[in-house]
C-alpha cells in the first residue's frame, strides 16, 4: 500500500483526492497551506523526508486567474517556485510527483483538441506561472506526472456550477457566454485519476479532462435543467464580459498517449455525479440517467 503526501489538501481538488484515497484505503498525509507553504523550500524538504511518501500529489496552487494579472510575481512564486521546491525534494528522495496543471498553458486559438505535445503559448499571467511550474518539474530530473486539467468544478471551492446554481435560485435570468468551449471536469472524477497516476510508472505530461466538450452556456443549461431551476439563460459573448485575464476561446484537451492516456468520464456524467453528491438531485435518478 502506497503512502501519499497531499499538498494543498484543503482546497477543492485536495479534498477530493483525500476522499478518493480514503475510499481506496490509501495512507495519506494531508497538508494544507497552514501546515506546509510550498514556497518554503526547507519546509518542503522536511515534510518529504519525515513522511517518506511513495508519491506526492500537489494540489497546492494560486488559482485566482484574474488576481494573477496584477500579482504575477506572487502567482509565479506559488505555481512555479513552489512546484520547483516540490520537484527538487521529490527527486532527491526518490518520490514520484503528481502535479496538476492547466489548459491555460495554451493560447486557446486552436480548432482541434490540444494534445500533450501541442505548442504552448499562455496568454495570461496565471498560464505563464503554471507553464513555468511544468518546466521546473521537468528540469528537476525526478519521477513525475504533470496532469493538465480544465474547467474544474466540485465541492469545497468556488466554481462555475455552484455559481449557476446560486444565481439560478436568485434571478429570473442569467447571461452566459457561448463562445468559450472546453471540457468540464468534476473533481470527483479527476481525484481517482491522480491517485492512479501516483502509482503508475509513466512519466511526462498527461491531459485529463471530462470527456466531450461544451460551451459555458451549454454547461449552465444542463445544470439548470438537472437542478429543476426556473431561471432563463440568455446567450452572450466573452466581449460582453471583459475580465482582467483573457479566457481561452477553445480549451478542449485530448490525449496522444495511447494506452497510457488518462481517460475521465463524459462531462455530463461528471455533472450528474457532482449534483447527486451535493444533494441537488437524487442519486438514484442520476445513475439511471447515466445508463
CATH number at residue 49: 3.40.50.720
pLDDT of residue 286: 54
Reported confidence tier of residue 79, pLDDT bands at 50, 70, 90: very high
Q: Is residue 237 part of a domain?
A: no
Which residues make Cβ contacts (< 8 Å) with residue 20, sequence separation at least 6? 188, 191, 192, 194, 195
Can you tell me the mean pLDDT for 87-115? 98
Contacts of residue 246, Cβ cutoff 8 Å, sequence gap at least 6: 108, 123, 124
Tell me which residue of 234, 211, 204 sits closest to 221, measured CA to CA.
234
Which residues are known to be catalytic? 126
Residue 54 domain-assigned (yes or no): yes
pLDDT score for 239:
94
> Residue 128: inside a domain, yes or no?
yes
Residues 105 and 130: beta-carbon distance below 8 Å: yes
Question: Would you say residue 127 lies in a domain?
Answer: yes
What pLDDT was estimated at residue 290? Answer: 56
pLDDT tens figures, 218-265: 999 999 999 999 999 999 999 998 899 999 999 999 999 999 999 999
Q: What is the pTM of this model?
A: 0.95
Q: What is the mean pLDDT of the chain?
A: 95
Our measurement of the distance from residue 177's CA atom to the centroid of its chain's CA atoms, rounded to an integer in Å, reads 21
Domain count, the chain: 1
Query: Does residue 161 contact residue 271 with C-beta atoms inside 8 Å?
Result: yes
In a domain, 67, yes or no: yes
- The answer to the question of residue 173 being in a domain is no
Grade residue 291 by pLDDT with cuts at 50, 70 and 90. very low
71 inside domain: yes
The model's confidence at residue 126, banded by pLDDT at 50, 70 and 90, is very high
Domain span including residue 62:
3-158+184-211+253-265
Measured between alpha carbons, how far is residue 29 from residues 2, 38, 140, 226 in Å? 11, 15, 23, 36
Rounded to an integer, what distance in angstroms lies between the CA atom of residue 30 and that of residue 33?
Answer: 10
Lowest model confidence (mean pLDDT) among 107-111, 229-233, 283-287:
283-287
| Residue 105 belongs to a domain | yes
Amino acid at each position: 500500500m502506497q503512502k501519499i503526501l497531499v499538498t494543498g489538501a484543503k482546497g477543492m481538488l485536495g479534498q477530493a483526492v483525500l476522499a478518493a484515497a480514503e475510499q481506496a484505503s490509501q495512507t495519506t498525509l494531508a497538508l494544507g497551506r497552514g501546515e506546509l507553504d510550498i514556497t518554503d523550500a526547507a519546509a518542503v524538504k522536511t515534510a518529504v523526508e519525515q513522511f517518506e511518501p511513495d508519491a506526492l500529489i500537489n494540489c497546492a496552487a494560486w488559482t485566482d486567474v484574474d488576481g494573477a494579472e496584477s500579482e504575477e510575481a506572487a502567482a509565479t512564486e506559488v505555481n512555479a517556485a513552489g512546484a520547483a521546491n516540490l520537484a527538487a525534494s521529490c527527486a532527491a528522495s526518490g518520490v514520484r510527483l503528481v502535479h496538476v496543471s492547466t489548459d491555460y498553458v495554451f493560447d486557446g486559438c486552436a480548432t482541434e483538441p490540444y494534445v500533450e505535445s501541442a505548442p504552448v503559448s499562455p496568454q495570461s499571467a496565471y498560464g505563464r506561472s503554471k507553464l513555468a511550474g511544468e518546466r521546473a518539474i521537468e528540469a528537476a530530473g525526478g519521477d513525475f506526472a504533470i496532469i493538465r486539467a480544465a474547467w474544474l468544478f466540485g465541492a469545497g471551492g468556488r466554481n462555475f456550477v455552484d455559481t449557476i446554481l446560486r444565481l439560478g435560485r436568485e434571478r429570473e435570468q442569467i447571461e452566459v457566454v457561448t463562445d468559450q468551449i472546453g471540457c468540464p471536469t468534476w473533481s470527483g472524477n479527476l481525484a481517482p485519476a491522480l491517485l492512479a497516476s501516483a502509482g503508475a510508472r509513466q512519466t511526462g505530461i498527461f491531459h485529463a479532462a471530462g470527456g466531450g466538450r461544451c460551451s459555458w452556456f451549454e454547461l449552465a443549461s444542463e445544470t439548470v435543467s438537472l437542478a429543476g431551476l426556473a431561471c432563463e439563460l440568455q446567450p452572450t459573448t466573452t466581449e460582453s464580459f471583459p475580465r482582467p485575464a483573457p479566457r481561452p476561446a477553445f480549451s478542449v484537451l485530448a490525449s496522444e498517449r495511447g494506452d497510457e492516456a488518462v481517460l475521465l468520464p463524459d462531462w455530463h456524467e461528471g455533472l450528474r455525479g457532482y449534483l447527486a453528491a451535493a444533494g441537488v438531485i437524487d442519486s438514484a435518478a442520476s445513475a439511471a440517467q447515466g445508463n
